[in-house]
Each structure stands twice: as structure tokens, then as C-alpha cells.
Amino acid sequence: ISRSIGDAYLKSTEFNRDPLLPKFRVPEPFDKPILSAEPETLVQKLDPEDQFLIFASDGLWEHLSSQEAVDIVNTCPRNGIARKLVKAALRVASKKREMRYSDLKKIDRGVRRHFHDDITVIVLFLDFHLISQSYWQGPLVSIRGGVGVSGHGIC
């Protein structure tokens, strides 16, 4: 997910110009993409104890550890959980900049890029009881994810 979202200026020269801030531009022209949208994948066997998967761009992982993200998902209601993870990461980002979260939120989005990277989060909750119902004809579970997927409450 993180390779398919954002950082377009590293994937194609047409995005490596205005209105992109000079700070983020690649100084020399490039022929091939610097960043590929092709993900590295691995197959992770899921166990019935696994409750969810967290897919997130590097903007989240710059500010939250895997365990911190898992703890948030485990202790908060499901509704709006991706937004809660983004908010938690932004709170950490604001502390790193020695500012209040409320002040960070007031900064225009284009300018805010100087304070934190873009953050995209998807949380997929797993229900093995539904999957294992007798009407299910497919394989028990087959999910391909990015490198770094491990453990219970996978993230």
C-alpha cells in the first residue's frame, strides 16, 4: 500500500516539478522511476487468533511502533480506528516538533508536509468464524501483504 500511494514525484518525472515544493524535488532528471509501485510481498499464514491487519504508509510507522499501533486497535472501538491511528501519529509528530496537536492541525495541508509525511491507514478486521462457515467454498484464508507482516494482531 505504501508504495502505491503517494511519492508520485519519485515514480514519474512529470510530477517532479511545480507545484511540488523544491525541497521535495529530485535535483537531477531521471529516466527510470526512483521508487517502484511494485510491492515486495510475502505470504503470512494467519491463525484463528489473529484479529486484524494494519496496512499503513511509512508516515504512520515513522511515529508509531507496530506494538503501539496494535495496542490502539486492541483498545479502541472499531469504528473510526484508522482515523485514531492517524491522530495518534500526528500527536507524536507534533510533540517531536514541540508544538500542540491543535496547532499542527491549523497548519495548511500543503505547508504541513514540512512537519510530517502523508499518512494512509487501512485496518482490516478478520472474523475466522464467518470465514469457516460451511457455506464458504474457497480456501480458508489467503491474504498477500507487504514485507514486515508478522505476529498476532498483525501489522
Summarised one tens digit per residue, pLDDT across range 87-124 is 998 898 888 877 777 766 767 777 666 666 677 899 99
Q: Decide: 152 and 51 in contact? Cβ < 8 Å.
A: yes
CB atoms within 10 A of CB 19: 6
pLDDT at 8: 65
CB atoms within 10 A of CB 110: 9
pLDDT at 54: 92
Q: Which of 17, 29, 101 is nearest to 63 (CA)?
A: 101
Q: Write down the pTM of the prediction.
A: 0.61
Mean pLDDT by 10 residues, the chain (155 residues): 58 69 73 69 82 88 93 94 92 82 71 69 85 59 46 35
* Residues shown for the chain: 155
Instruction: Quote the cell numbers at residue 105.
Output: 492541525
Instruction: Quote the cell numbers at residue 22.
Output: 523544491
pLDDT at 118: 75
Longest dimension (CA), the chain: 58
Residue 31 CA neighbour count, 13 Å, CB half: 0
pLDDT at 142: 52
Instruction: Quote the cell numbers at residue 96.
Output: 517531536
pLDDT at 153: 36
Q: How many angstroms separate the Cα of 140 from the Cα of each of 9, 62, 153?
A: 40, 34, 18
pLDDT at 1: 47
pLDDT at 46: 82
